[in-house]
Amino acid sequence: MDIEKVLEITEETHQRLKFSLPERIRPFYDSAEIDNLRALLVYGQRGGG
């Protein structure tokens, strides 16, 4: 299996997981206003930081 196919399958799985949650509680954002924030917690599938 080539890398493009692996990426395609991974993206498909991610989309299914994302859309399985109700829209109001989905922890996914395209952008966030962080200009005036003192701190920001970023987390994902592999942890937080």
In this prediction, residue 10 carries a pLDDT of 92
CB-count burial class (<10 Å; 0-12, 13-18, 19+) for 11: exposed
> What is the spatial distance between Cα 14 and Cα 21, in angstroms, rounded to a whole number?
12
The domains of the chain are located at 3-48
Dihedral sign for Cα 7, 33, 46, 24, please.
Answer: negative
Measured CA to CA in angstroms, residue 13 lies from 16, 18, 25 at distances of: 5, 9, 19
pLDDT beneath 50: ranges in the chain: none
As a whole-number percent, the residues of the chain with pLDDT over 90 amount to 24
Give pTM, 2 decimals. Answer: 0.47
